[in-house]
Structure 1
Amino acid sequence: LGLGLAALSLLPAYEMSQLTRRAQISYSEASQYSLAPAELVGLLIPGVLGRGVEDYWAPWPRVEVGYIGVLPLILALLAILLWHDRLSDLTRFFAGLAVLALILALGSYAILHGWLYRWVPGFDQVRAPARFIYLLDFALAALAALGLDLLLHPLPRMARRTFRGLMRAAPWAFLLLAATTGSIAYATLLLGQDRDPIVFRRIATAINGLALFLLLLGASLALLMARSYGRLRGRAFGLLALGLIGLDLFSLGAYVDLGHEDPTANFHRPEAIAFLKGDPSFYRVEVRPESWGAWSPNASLLHGLHDVGGIYNPLILADYQRYWESLTDRSTPLYDFLNAKYVIGPKDFALPWDKFIPVFDDDPQVNIYLNQRALPRALVVYRSVVVPDHEAAWAAIHQPGFDPATTVVLEGGKPLLGPPGQTTRLDITRYDLNEIRLRVATTAEGYLVLSEVYYPGWRAYLDGREVEVLRANYAFRALHLPPGDHQVRLVFDPLSWRVGLALSLA
């Protein structure tokens, strides 16, 4: 039932996943950002390795710690140790889920991850295994709830004996732990006080985290002992437990781990944005990585600009990404084909000055450069080269002398070798996410070529009659045009969405 309801999202998502680089990633890429075993200390002491941009000093680049609080961890453990028939199935399920999630989060540090990558369909497209720590948190939180529920009610005889035995041993175990770790911490602090200030600060940070953990552990054990010896009734125990958990978690999340810089500053360049929006034509911009510190790669989305890079995300379509990565030189016609009219780059950025000119320099950090050879979003060409397969198309567009302004490489259709016709009209009358409309008038047979990425599900209608959308110039779209005045409509209507909708409604 759940899969059926989710089919509307799952089928299109699966279709897209097969067209991205994620469908081809290696195991080394899939296992990047695995949770190092030493990071598991964060389940108990989240601040031991520092927090925030300036103070975090762990040797791994991830910061997932999975901390759910000290008392919830103890309650989760008690749910396993004290379970009885009424809760056994749930306890087993969530305990198993916690173990599985932990192993998955360890990624390349655990052999199971490699087996799943090799044998489970779709798992080879999942990166950053450390994020499975959130599934571990869910399982531990559920176990903690089961443990708390046990203690809110009278325990069965065997469970009560086990609980009291644990509580009798708890004070001695706590004193031993506090004495041992306290002695080590004091000695470390004493020996490190004459060292580099940064090292000393890290030692102090770790000790502060340890002290807070011991304080919370002591409070948790005191609360559990009071319940064990009948000093607290179920209702009072539950309220105090929730209060302690809330204090623990809210104190940890009382501040956000950000630096002192405004994270939104590189989204707001009002003068430059106003200049770009003053151009009424259809065009795309390129934001150079060298200027990302001043202009976010996602700023175009916020301001309604069309960017050759789209939004910054890991699911770029593989064909387009390959095309883009081949453009090492901005002087190539393949770059101009992308309708990249403006380049946003640093003040001292080097470009082929025979085609680029600076047109806006009023921003203190970036300039805007005009590409004088940028091709329009849609154009009609009267010469076509038909190739047998996808790799042949790749080779053809990289042949010396290939000019997308006059020729299109097609994986289908028919070759055109006739003399150039005249395009007397080409207007984009509607441009939305799911629909594009154009009016085109031409004096000869040709192909309407759009620098829009080819994707299954786009359907084209010429004067109301459906025509084939051809894969053009390796990663883009084209459709055949007879001479005359035409109304063209492209609409996104994928089969995966229609099938998914039918399954979700069934």
Structure 2
Amino acid sequence: MLGGLSLVLPALFFFRATFTSDVFLAGDTLRAFYPMRAYWAERVSQGGFPDWFPYDGFGQSFPAIFISGVFHPTALLHLVLPLGVAVKLTVLVCFPVAFLGTVALLREWGVPRAGALFGALTFTFSGYLVCITNNPTYLLAASTVPAALWGVLRFVRRPSAARLAVGGGLLALVAFGGDAQAFAVTQALGVLVALTEPVTAPGTWGRRVGACLLLVATGGLLAAPQLLPAAALVMTGEPGARSLAEAQDFSLHPLRVGELLLGPFLTDPVGVRGIPELAVRKLIRTGAFTRAWVDSLYVGTPAFVLALAGVGASWRQRRTWVFVGAWLLLLALMLGSLLPVYGWVYQLLPPWRPFRYPEKLGSFLVLGLAVGAALGWRRCLGPGGNPRAVIVAGMAVAAFCAAVVLGESVGGLWTRGYVLPHWPDAPAAAIEGLSGNVVRMGGLATGLALLCAVLAWRPRLAAGLVVIQWAALSWENGPLYQVSPAEILETPPPLVERIRAASAPDEPVRVNLMVKGYGAPPLKGYEFKDRLSLGQVAVLAPDTSVFWGIESAASYLPGRSPRLGRLMNDPRRWAFELAPRLSTPFTVTRTRELTGGPPPGTRVVAVDPLFEATLLGHPDAPARVHLARPECVATADDAVKRMTAPEPAAPGTAIVECPEPLPVEAASGTGGVRVTRESPEHFTVDVEAAAPSVLVINDAYQPGWTATLDGAPVPILAANVAVRAVPVPAGRHSVVMRYRTPGLVPGVALGLLTLGALGAAMVVSARRGRRGARGAERGR
């Protein structure tokens, strides 16, 4: 029955996706997940492996970008299904995985079937998991966490080679989902779960610690193909947060903690299907962003009541307070910039620094409440339980929620006490909507809490809690997920055709974006977030241009070269001077920014009046690969100063960081090149140089590239701060460039060796088991 429910309930909950051709498209589903999966499928279907991703920020390592999830098994769906269908199925399959993993974990803890079903509903359809469909990378990891903790629990209770393989494999699957922080926290929670298990025999504690270490190491080794490339990137680049302030941009506002109990009272569930940007900016802004990470954290009032009752009924048990303390620590970390805790961890634990966005920990917060509610069910509503604790908790929660409703209805406690002081010019409609949300949700929470108390009074009726929990989650969280017409993905925007018409066929072309915000013009038949997605696609926001085979000089993914970031400090100069010098022949900007005409050296190629975007051309942008006269400097700082000097280097000159002087003659930089591209990671350049020169390749200067000149290794030098150059003597030569992600080969080797060792251990264990059984049989 539970297996069937794991398929039926998500299909019903996400009926707007299940029973239509619409696809998930909101947020980073469009900006990051679709482009990465589209690129993965293109390369793998051609028999290659996507080491290098050329479509973001002049190129970066694809496996080293942790969020690429290049090794996750759901990527295989893209080899047999259309892009939109494959992503939809990837998203939808996360919910049966979350459901069954939570059931298995709770059953391992002895929770009755009804309680396990309740806990699984709570986690699977919590506001966090429902709304993080706007970023499947984090959904894939979050949905696997309960199963991973189940694997940990099974192994530490009765270690075996098979259980080690399952537990380690599930931990690795969290990493392969693409969320490094979730992997680290899951490992830590696994250790916590293991060490809080009761010790039943002398000497068990030492074996328990050893089992924990073995399982954590196994999970890390199996995930090595993802972990080692990411570690190499951390050591050479700037993935994730570059400062504590940036790390905490998405922090949970304390006001939103109330959503766990009351519901998503800040949302507009019909128009925006989420928290409007203006409400974020005025009421709950905690960092540089003006949108919410997720639009709901609601776990259902019945879950809150049961979790509270479970704590009350088990307050004498030390393990209860260990779990409560861990949950409160996660909440403190999620509050980010509003408490010093995240800063302490950032300063004291250097491996934590690449992580960012404290709100990403929301999946663990709602999982903690789901587990707490299920354990409360076992403690209070199971055989020999204490239902009085549920009655008391239900009455207490109902009294609190009723006070919230009364305070807003009579005295405007919410709107007059908080909203208007923070948003004095709030429109009347916004005030009415925010007030109505609190009154309606508070009233519903009051009724649900009282109903919990009533049902607990008669334990035979406790199964009704499952029904009201499902109804509450469907009612409040169901409207908030977003699906959009697939045509948004399938129809090239007008600017694409103009770029192709103005570019050489079969040659890679790069476009820069100088648009800060994305509009949502009124379009009949499209919801707000549909129009927002259309606006991003229309201006070729990174990395949506992947769909049309156009590279982006702008950057969105975290593996961007830090050298490139140094050139982007002045956005206008980057867009109209520096990026064109690095072979970026097009820029998209807002039409309203060009009231005084196009900048010097540019021309208007096309205008999109609907989305108010103008495509500018840079006629003087050099070819992607060309010969240049070297101008040597000693360091990267010198290169930045020279590159950004008021008087730029002469045309045909490259600023090269030279370990020793390069020969220069009058004819240096002249000659011809012919490029043969076998793949983004492997191409050949036939050079005919009139004099000693440098061959400039206007792609990112990153570790992992190697070059040969006429078959002999040759150094790759940094040119114009951010791109690559190879010295070439006069005459005809062949330069071959190859790329391999640093750490990838050792990571794959470690993963395969670990897998082989586990397989061998399982075979040996099975043989010993059979021998033992035969010996016991002969003894009888």
1:431 Cα deviation (Å)? 6.0
The CA distance in 2 between the partners of 1:174 and 1:129, in whole Å, is: 28
The one-letter amino acid of 1:394's match is: V
1:192 Cα deviation (Å)? 8.9
The one-letter amino acid of 2:470's match is: G
| Alignment deviations for residues 278-323 of structure 1 (CA, whole Å, 9 cap, x no partner) | 321443212221684341413312211012114x345532210111
1:275 counterpart residue number: 498
Note closer, same or farther for the CA distance 1:306–1:32 as it changes in structure 2 (3 Å cut): closer
Note closer, same or farther for the CA distance 1:453–1:106 as it changes in structure 2 (3 Å cut): same
- SS of 2:708's partner is strand
Name whichever structure is richer in strand by fraction. 1
- SS of 1:386's partner is strand
1:116 Cα deviation (Å)? 0.9
1:274 Cα deviation (Å)? 1.9
1:241 Cα deviation (Å)? 3.3
**TM-score normalised to structure 2 length:** 0.56
Q: Is the 8 A contact 2:401 2:446 kept in 1?
A: yes
The CA distance in 2 between the partners of 1:441 and 1:106, in whole Å, is: 60
1:410 Cα deviation (Å)? 2.0
Say which of 429, 449, 458 aligns to 1:217.
449
1:36 counterpart residue number: 253
The one-letter amino acid of 2:546's match is: L
1:199 counterpart residue number: 431
Q: Is the 8 A contact 1:408 1:449 kept in 2?
A: no
Say which of 370, 377, 392 aligns to 1:148.
377
Note closer, same or farther for the CA distance 1:27–1:169 as it changes in structure 2 (3 Å cut): closer
The CA distance in 2 between the partners of 1:303 and 1:46, in whole Å, is: 40
- SS of 1:25's partner is coil
Note closer, same or farther for the CA distance 1:30–1:421 as it changes in structure 2 (3 Å cut): closer
| Alignment deviations for residues 328-347 of structure 1 (CA, whole Å, 9 cap, x no partner) | 33797633322111222344
| Alignment deviations for residues 30-87 of structure 1 (CA, whole Å, 9 cap, x no partner) | 33332232321111112333435487546113365532112222333344344599x9
Is 1:114 aligned to 2:350, yes or no? no
1:70 counterpart residue number: 301
Q: Which moved more, 1:456-465 or 1:163-172?
A: 163-172
Q: Is the 8 A contact 2:669 2:693 kept in 1?
A: no
Note closer, same or farther for the CA distance 1:200–1:346 as it changes in structure 2 (3 Å cut): closer
Q: Which moved more, 1:179-188 or 1:205-214?
A: 179-188
Give 1:190-269 correspondences, 5 Å limit.
196=428, 198-227=430-459, 231-232=460-461, 237-238=462-463, 240-256=464-480
Q: Is the 8 A contact 2:398 2:447 kept in 1?
A: no
- SS of 1:127's partner is coil
| Alignment deviations for residues 117-166 of structure 1 (CA, whole Å, 9 cap, x no partner) | 211113233332233222211222222333334456423xxxx3xx2442
2:584 counterpart residue number: 340
1:361 Cα deviation (Å)? 4.2
Count residues with an aligned counterpart: 486
Say which of 665, 674, 683 aligns to 1:418.
665
Is 1:322 aligned to 2:554, yes or no? no
Please tell me the root mean square deviation across aligned C-alpha atoms, in Å: 3.6
Give 1:180-191 correspondences, 5 Å limit.
180-188=403-411
- Rg (Cα) greater in structure: 1
The CA distance in 2 between the partners of 1:306 and 1:258, in whole Å, is: 27
Note closer, same or farther for the CA distance 1:355–1:262 as it changes in structure 2 (3 Å cut): farther
Give 1:462-473 correspondences, 5 Å limit.
462-473=709-720
1:387 counterpart residue number: 633
2:513 counterpart residue number: 287
The CA distance in 2 between the partners of 1:323 and 1:267, in whole Å, is: 34
The CA distance in 2 between the partners of 1:438 and 1:410, in whole Å, is: 22
The CA distance in 2 between the partners of 1:175 and 1:253, in whole Å, is: 21
Q: Which moved more, 1:293-302 or 1:444-453?
A: 293-302
Q: Is the 8 A contact 1:337 1:404 kept in 2?
A: no
Is 1:4 aligned to 2:205, yes or no? no
Name whichever structure is richer in helix by fraction. 2
Q: Which moved more, 1:270-279 or 1:446-455?
A: 270-279
The one-letter amino acid of 1:445's match is: P
Is 1:495 aligned to 2:742, yes or no? yes
The CA distance in 2 between the partners of 1:180 and 1:333, in whole Å, is: 60
| Alignment deviations for residues 180-236 of structure 1 (CA, whole Å, 9 cap, x no partner) | 44543442379999x945433422221011011112212222222221xxx34xxxx
The one-letter amino acid of 1:68's match is: V
The one-letter amino acid of 1:101's match is: L
**TM-score normalised to structure 1 length:** 0.83
Note closer, same or farther for the CA distance 1:111–1:34 as it changes in structure 2 (3 Å cut): same
The one-letter amino acid of 1:249's match is: L
1:504 counterpart residue number: 751
The CA distance in 2 between the partners of 1:204 and 1:362, in whole Å, is: 40
Q: Is the 8 A contact 1:424 1:442 kept in 2?
A: yes
Note closer, same or farther for the CA distance 1:277–1:51 as it changes in structure 2 (3 Å cut): same
1:375 counterpart residue number: 622
- SS of 1:444's partner is coil
Q: Which moved more, 1:463-472 or 1:357-366?
A: 357-366
Note closer, same or farther for the CA distance 1:429–1:216 as it changes in structure 2 (3 Å cut): same
The CA distance in 2 between the partners of 1:171 and 1:191, in whole Å, is: 23
The CA distance in 2 between the partners of 1:473 and 1:422, in whole Å, is: 15
The CA distance in 2 between the partners of 1:84 and 1:205, in whole Å, is: 34
Q: Is the 8 A contact 2:607 2:613 kept in 1?
A: yes
The one-letter amino acid of 2:326's match is: L
- SS of 2:335's partner is helix
Q: Is the 8 A contact 1:327 1:334 kept in 2?
A: no
1:436 Cα deviation (Å)? 3.0
The one-letter amino acid of 1:71's match is: P
The CA distance in 2 between the partners of 1:167 and 1:495, in whole Å, is: 55
The CA distance in 2 between the partners of 1:256 and 1:317, in whole Å, is: 36
The CA distance in 2 between the partners of 1:351 and 1:397, in whole Å, is: 26
- SS of 1:328's partner is helix
Q: Which moved more, 1:449-458 or 1:142-151?
A: 142-151
Note closer, same or farther for the CA distance 1:75–1:451 as it changes in structure 2 (3 Å cut): same
